[in-house]
């Protein structure tokens, strides 16, 4: 009898301990800082403590970071020496598997046309500013009207890389893509009403990632019914005091993805080399001439021996080879994935089209100052605030348009986005990492670090401000002016000065890789050239990248060398 009672007592104790344990686990984790419950149903600190790691966003593949030799490893027959070898370290990131295609860009144009109808005078310039320049195909002594009329929109070219896009347009596409992907993620997680992205969007009711993070009540033009849990699939969480929690997603939830952007030059070159096959411990020491193994542009594999591995110009008057066996399959661009990918799974990192990268061009890569995630082009901004301290959201009647040097007009901010202003002394005072908003010409062309290319600089040449004036003493490219008269007509004046000494300024950007118009020499990933950021060609396209957050690797268990 005593044994039975003892067994019953032990059983009750075991059940009690189990219930206590279950109750404890249901209130989520406890803080190692305070011992308080995190994610408690009673309120308090809310955080995604079960985050599994970043997943690749649509179209992207992961490139694990590492150390590599950036720069030319071949003789420079052009004697530019604008990218001498230097060791750089790149953090892990994601990159588009292919170049952005015509089909992808047409989806962007369709969204703009639906949300900001170009039939309305206030929005016409938004759509016009996003359109690729199809006239880039024209040639004084060549018949290319079929591409001018069809290349962007005809289904026969849907999987071909988009061209005629300036650097500025490429950046705007990346920003738009970031908002659309995050809008989808939030809908899938139940924070936004289903199909709101199709049925509830208008010129005065759009979704912006930055607006959602900083002022979630102002997305979709303040239409809170779209984000109200009563109209979404998300269950409302109410604390004991009656307050609702987790109504809107924050960065702490891990749902909101980092933004799409253009890759930096160092990232693009690192990804193009595809160095995984010549890894030695944690440093890539090999020297590769192309994104593929070997020293030749033709395949050595038995089945496809002799086939070209990229789309490039093989010689004067030879854009594709002789039709048949030795043809590379294209005379202009070619459909993405027409050639084998490199070791990272990236297609067309040599040939097809050259690609915009984020960096401002300078003849040198300043590795003496920085050798980690190198990038020239930082312009730091902050959110503009209203008088009451809230963020300023751009309204349809407050769109600011910029007139570019080539006369094209683009919108600076779209309705629904947060207006930004340069950082000021509130952010820079007594900082050691940066002391100004615009850092494009840092340590290159300014008085504190360089000997001027020309000691005497004429004031009438139009330089204004200390930084810009100093920059133009070394990089004083032509400064064409565009003015608008009283009738709204543009007056374009070319800079005819004979005192210009350079084509470089703070508005020229690097583009990388060879194209269908280029000879084999330019297929080397280390090659670098520059072009004005507001102009476009028929041989420059782009692909997007995204930073990786958290661990460097997707897998903790990795095979060692």
Per-residue pLDDT reduced to its tens digit, 404-420: 888 888 998 899 999 99
Mean pLDDT of 162-172: 97
Q: Is residue 220 classed exposed, middle or buried when 0-12, 13-18 and 19+ CB atoms within 10 A define those classes? A: buried
- Would residue 281 count as lying in a domain? yes
Q: Which two tokens stand for residue 412?
A: 């600076």
Query: What's the pLDDT score for residue 340?
Result: 86
Angle, helix 102-115 to helix 121-130, in steps of 10 degrees = 170
State the residue for tokens 């899938």: 188
- pLDDT at residue 21 is higher than 80: no
Say which residue the tokens 């084999």 belong to: 520
Q: What is the pLDDT of residue 499?
A: 79
Residue 464 lies in a domain: no
Residue 236 CB coordination number (10 Å): 12
DSSP state of 419: P
- Of the ranges 8-12, 94-98, 225-229, 320-324, the best mean pLDDT one: 94-98
**Structure-token pair, residue 418:** 């947060």
Written as six digits, the tokens of 42 are 């009673």
**For residue 119, what pLDDT is reported?**
92
Confidence of residue 441 (pLDDT cuts 50, 70, 90): confident
Q: What is the number of domains present in the chain?
A: 1
Q: 378 and 422 in contact (C-beta within 8 Å)? A: no
Burial state string for 472-503 with b = 16 or more CB within 10 A and e = fewer than 16: bbbbbbebeeeeeeeeeeeeeeeeeeeeeeee
Least confident of 181-190, 320-329, 518-527: 320-329
CA atoms within 13 A on the CB side of 409: 16
* Residue 25: band (very low, low, confident or very high) from pLDDT cuts 50, 70, 90: very low
With contact defined as beta carbons under 8 Å apart, do 497 and 51 qualify? no
- pLDDT at res. 125: 92
Q: How far is CA 247 from CA 115, 190, 235, 306, 408, in A?
A: 27, 10, 9, 60, 42
Per the DSSP assignment, residues forming a β-bridge with 529 are 511
Cβ contact 463:440 at 8 Å? no
Q: Is the pLDDT of residue 329 over 80?
A: no
CB hemisphere CA count around 105 (13 angstroms): 31
* Residue 548 covered by a domain: yes
Number of Cβ within 10 Å of residue 442's Cβ equals 21
Mean pLDDT of 418-426: 94
The answer to whether 267 and 93 have CB atoms below 8 angstroms apart is: yes
Closest by Cα among 457, 455, 451, 502 to 477: 502
Q: Could you tell me which residue, 15 or 517, shows the higher pLDDT? A: 517
**pLDDT at residue 233 greater than cutoff 90:** no
Percent of the chain surpassing pLDDT 70: 79
* CATH number (domain holding residue 102): 3.90.1580.10
Range with top average pLDDT, 241-245, 262-266, 473-477, 554-558: 262-266
Residue 79 has pLDDT above 50, yes or no: yes
Residue 137 lies in a domain: yes
Q: Is residue 396 part of a domain?
A: no
Q: Is residue 322 in a domain?
A: yes
What tens digit of pLDDT does each residue of 342-382 get? Answer: 989 999 998 899 999 999 999 888 888 899 999 999 999 99
CA distance 279 to 553: 15
Burial group, residue 61, by CB count within 10 angstroms (0-12, 13-18, 19+): middle
Instruction: Compute the average pLDDT of residues 195-210.
Output: 92
**516 and 144 Cβ atoms separated by less than 8 Å:** no
User: Average pLDDT, whole number, for the chain?
Assistant: 83
113-164 tens-digit pLDDT: 999 999 998 899 999 999 999 999 999 999 999 999 999 999 999 999 999 9
Q: Is residue 492 part of a domain?
A: no
Q: Encoding tokens for residue 297?
A: 């542009």
What per-residue confidence (pLDDT) applies to 288?
Answer: 61
- Radius of gyration over every alpha carbon of the chain, rounded to an integer in angstroms: 28
* 323 has pLDDT over 70: no
Helix (H) or strand (E) run with residue 168 in it? helix 167-188
- In this prediction, residue 412 carries a pLDDT of 87
Considering the domain boundaries, does residue 73 fall inside one? Answer: yes
Q: Write the burial class of residue 148 (CB in 10 Å: 0-12 exposed, 13-18 middle, 19+ buried).
A: middle
The predicted-structure confidence for 473-525, as pLDDT tens digits, reads as follows 567 788 888 887 777 788 888 888 887 878 888 899 999 999 999 888 888 89
Reading phi first (left if > 0) and then psi (alpha if -120 to 50, else beta), residue 422 is in beta
At 60, is the pLDDT very low, low, confident or very high (cuts 50, 70, 90)? very high
pLDDT at position 15 is 53
Q: What CA–CA distance (Å, rounded) separates 13 from 104?
A: 63
Domain that holds residue 148: 61-189+255-372+513-553
Token readout for 46 is: 């809310």
On the CB side of 223, CA atoms within 13 Å amount to 18
> What is the maximum span of the chain, computed from C-alpha positions, in angstroms?
112
Q: How far apart are CA 507 and CA 361, in angstroms?
A: 8
Please write down the long-range contacts of 236-239, taking CB distance under 8 Å and 24 or more positions apart. Answer: 237/41, 239/41, 239/42, 239/43
């Amino acid at each position: 009898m005593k044994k039975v009672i003892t067994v019953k007592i032990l059983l009750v104790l075991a059940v009690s301990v189990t219930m206590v344990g279950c109750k404890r686990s249901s209130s989520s984790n406890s803080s190692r800082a305070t011992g308080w419950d995190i994610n408690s149903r009673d309120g308090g600190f809310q955080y995604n403590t079960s985050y599994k790691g970043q997943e690749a966003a649509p179209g992207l593949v992961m490139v694990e970071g590492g150390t590599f030799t950036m720069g030319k490893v071949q003789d420079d027959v052009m004697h530019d020496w604008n990218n001498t070898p230097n060791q750089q370290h790149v953090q892990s990131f994601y990159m588009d598997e292919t170049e952005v295609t015509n089909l992808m860009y047409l989806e962007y144009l369709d969204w703009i046309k639906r949300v900001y109808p170009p039939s309305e005078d206030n929005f016409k310039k938004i759509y016009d500013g996003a359109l690729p320049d199809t006239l880039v195909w024209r040639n004084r002594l060549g018949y290319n009207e079929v591409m001018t009329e069809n290349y962007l929109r005809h289904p026969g070219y849907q999987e071909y890389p988009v061209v005629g896009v300036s650097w500025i347009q490429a950046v705007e596409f990346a920003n738009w893509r970031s908002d659309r992907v995050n809008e989808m993620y939030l809908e899938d997680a139940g924070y936004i009403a289903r199909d709101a992205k199709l049925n509830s969007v208008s010129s005065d009711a759009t979704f912006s990632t930055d607006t959602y993070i900083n002022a979630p009540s102002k997305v979709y033009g303040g239409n809170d019914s779209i984000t109200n849990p009563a109209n979404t699939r998300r269950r409302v969480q109410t604390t004991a005091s009656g307050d609702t929690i987790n109504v809107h997603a924050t960065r702490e939830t891990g749902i909101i993805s980092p933004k799409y952007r253009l890759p930096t030059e160092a990232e693009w070159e690192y990804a193009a080399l595809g160095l995984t096959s010549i890894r030695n411990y944690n440093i890539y020491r090999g020297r590769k001439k192309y994104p593929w193994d070997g020293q030749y542009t033709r395949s050595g594999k038995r089945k496809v021996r002799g086939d070209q591995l990229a789309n490039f110009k093989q010689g004067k008057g030879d854009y594709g080879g002789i039709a048949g066996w030795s043809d590379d399959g294209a005379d202009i661009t070619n459909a993405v994935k027409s050639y084998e990918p490199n070791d990272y799974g990236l297609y067309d990192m040599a040939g097809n089209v050259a690609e915009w990268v984020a960096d401002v061009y300078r003849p040198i890569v300043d590795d003496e100052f920085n050798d980690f995630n190198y990038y020239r082009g930082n312009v730091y901004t902050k959110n503009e605030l209203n008088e009451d301290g809230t963020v300023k959201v751009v309204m349809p009647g407050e769109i600011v348009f910029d007139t570019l040097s080539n006369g094209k007009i683009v919108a600076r901010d779209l309705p629904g986005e947060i207006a930004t202003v340069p950082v000021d002394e509130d952010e820079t005072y007594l900082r050691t990492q940066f002391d100004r908003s615009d850092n494009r010409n840092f340590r290159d062309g300014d008085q504190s670090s360089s000997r001027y290319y020309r000691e005497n600089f004429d004031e009438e040449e139009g330089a204004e401000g200390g930084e810009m004036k100093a920059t133009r003493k070394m990089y004083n490219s032509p400064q064409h002016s565009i003015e608008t008269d009283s009738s709204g007509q543009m007056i374009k004046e070319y800079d005819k000065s004979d005192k210009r000494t350079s084509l470089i300024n703070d508005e020229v950007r690097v583009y990388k890789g060879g194209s269908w118009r280029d000879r084999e020499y330019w297929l080397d990933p280390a090659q670098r050239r520059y072009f004005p950021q507001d102009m476009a060609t028929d041989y420059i396209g782009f692909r997007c990248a995204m930073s990786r957050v958290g661990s460097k690797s997707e897998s903790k268990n990795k095979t060692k060398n």
